[in-house]
Structure 1
Amino acid sequence: MSYLKNKIAIVTGVSRLKGIGAAICQELAEDGYHLFFTYWTPYDQTMPWSIQSDEPIKLKEELLKKGVKVGCMELDLTLDDAPTQLLNQVCEELGEPDILINNAAYSTSNDYSNLTLEDLDKHYFVNIRATTLVSTTFAKRFQKKTGGRIVNLTSGQFKGPMPGEVAYATTKGAIDALTITLSAEVAALGITVNAVNPGPTDTGWMTEELKEQLTPMFPFGRVGMPRDVAKTIKFLISEEANWITGQIIHSEGGFKR
């Protein structure tokens, strides 16, 4: 437990109790990590799965029961000063963070025939700009010389096409390139950088019909669940993974496209 003493992790994009972000927080809290998470309910409220306004607070209450320190804030990551706002708030409430997990994402369906400039920009500002700037702000402020971790969420764009999701595929695909280059730049600071592709994961957006279509593509006979990727991330931020960096981990249960 000495490695975990006072370890502080930031997780972005944690609005929904059924989401990957919430599962990451729950998994890390069980191991004793202190947590700070961000959420942005206006986005989820426009999505088919929607959100109850009290879900982030309910999650905070659940995490506190596990005996760890927890902070959170509603934050629009597309704002110019969002990275600084975030790091300042984390330091004020919990202390200097050791871990950053870039889970926040923007996703809507579109293809070449109906893609608009506005929609592409919305994907870019969250999926690429926010992830990059929060990561570089975290790295510039990291002073501990060892044990730093950045984990990005990707979606396996280079494993096959994603028709009907051209903006999402384009912007999330750039996460792989960011991960590889940033890992080389910040290694001297004592920070590892990796990305995780969870594959199709049931966070409440899957219909029963879609689950039936996807299940035969998984050799384990089920679709991915949020805790599956959370466990992978828990390993990547652990001391045992301090020699793993610049990697894109396809933690998708053998999913065959």
Structure 2
Amino acid sequence: MTYDSNRPAAGKPHRDPLPLLGRTALVTGASRRSGIGYAVARRLAAYGAGVYLHHHVPHDAGQPWGADPGGPEAVADGVREVAVPGAVVAHGPADLARPDTPARLIDRAAEALGGRLDILVANHALSGSDGPLDTIDASMLDAHCAVNTRSVILLAQAYARRRAAEQPGGRIVLMTSGQDLGDGLPEEIAYGLAKGALASATRSLATTFAVAGVTVNTVNPGPVDTGYAVGELHDRVARSFPGGQWGAPDDPARLIAWLATEEAGWITGQVINSEGGFRR
């Protein structure tokens, strides 16, 4: 594998306050200001990138936590607050359960960002409609595989087809949930299977993209407080962290934003657990 086009020349180390200036990014699943996608988008924008935020409000509206009360425009406004002058922050809906949607989303995001797309953060996921082995059925398995696995691979495919080989700074970051750690997710078989497939595909995708100088990594953020856990569950999970508190959305966002920079140009094909010492 070679990444010469992405690797900075040797010399005195320095830190660029805007390491993504001029780059563009698509962040999927960025529909709630309490979510990881929003935190990632803010980090990328603060680093100088233009950002397109994907959302699917009907999914959130059907969950116990509900949709963001301010809607997608409030989410985008929160990202614009930290963006550099002149950087584009745009957003749009897409139902990634549909097989034709990923390619259209990549095209729409790239065109909104000036025709170029450098960074793909596949943060979206289907929640709910799941259970332990004796309760799942074929429709649950199909739904989770369509959104949590198939759409991500098709996003990567469409990204590859749009990206010129000579463009530097290509980055893909996927998201998984630590299914291979501890006892897995026995109460969420369909979700665990579909997300675990992304971890398994990471090295294959990294090898595929290496010739184009694009890195591919997957992040397991561990339990992050995005508003979905309350009461006894929240307290019980908090006790499993050495510090007694959940991860915050900005915890994985810092890692993901760093993976998008030139500093991370030699890291690819990795599944990185960012769990704050969580004890399973």
Same fold (TM over 0.5): yes
* CA drift at 1:216: 2.1
- Shifted more, 122-131 versus 218-227: the winner is 218-227
Deviates more, 1:101-110 or 1:224-233: 101-110
2:20 aligns with: 4
- In 1, the alpha carbon distance for the partners of 2:19 and 2:187 equals 44
Any gaps of 5 or more consecutive residues in structure 2?
1-15
Structure 1 residue runs without a partner (length 5+): none
Quote the offset at 1:139 in angstroms.
Answer: 1.6
Q: 1:1-257 counterparts in 2 under 5 A?
A: 1=16, 3-52=19-68, 54-66=70-82, 67=84, 68-95=87-114, 96-108=116-128, 109-143=130-164, 144-160=166-182, 161-257=184-280
* 3-state SS of 2:109 partner: helix
Please give the alpha-carbon distance, in whole angstroms, between the structure 2 residues aligned to 1:37 and 1:156: 25
Secondary structure, aligned partner of 1:211: helix
Distance 1:215 1:200 in 2: 9
Q: Distance in 1 between matches of 2:279 and 2:19?
A: 37
Does the 8 Å contact 1:29/1:63 carry over to 2? yes
Whether the 8 Å contact between 1:45 and 1:51 is mirrored in structure 2 is yes
% identical aligned pairs: 39
Name the SS of the counterpart of 2:245 in structure 1.
coil
Contact 2:20/2:44 (<8 A) preserved: no
How far the C-alpha of 1:44 sits from its partner, in A, is 0.9
- The CA distance in 2 between the partners of 1:112 and 1:27, in whole Å, is 38
Three-state SS of the structure 2 residue aligned to 1:38 is strand
| Runs of at least 4 residues off by over 6 Å | none
Q: Counterpart of 2:39 in 1: which secondary structure?
A: helix
Q: Cα RMSD over matched residues? A: 1.4
Cα deviation, 1:93-134, whole Å, max 9, x if unaligned, reads 112110000001012241111102111111010000000000
Larger % of helix: which?
A: 1
Deviation at 1:55, TM superposition (A): 2.5
Counterpart residue identity of residue 131, structure 2: N
Q: How many residues in Structure 1 have an aligned counterpart in Structure 2?
A: 257
Change (3 A) 1:20 1:63: same
> Residues 125-180 of structure 1: CA distance to partner in whole angstroms, max 9, x if unpaired?
00000000001110222114421000001001111221210001111000111111
Structure 2: how far apart are the matches of 1:128 and 1:170? Answer: 9
Indicate if the aligned counterparts of 1:201 and 1:223 stay in contact, CA closer than 8 A: yes
User: What displacement does 1:64 show?
Assistant: 2.1
Looking at structure 2, the residues matched to 87 and 107 of structure 1 have their Cα atoms a distance apart, in angstroms, of: 23
Are the aligned partners of 1:17 and 1:55 in contact in 2 as well (CA < 8 Å)? no
Q: Distance in 1 between matches of 2:19 and 2:39?
A: 22
Between 140-149 and 16-25, the greater mean CA deviation after superposition: 140-149
Counterpart CA distance in 2 for 1:158 and 1:91 is 34
* SS of equivalent residue, structure 1 residue 219: coil
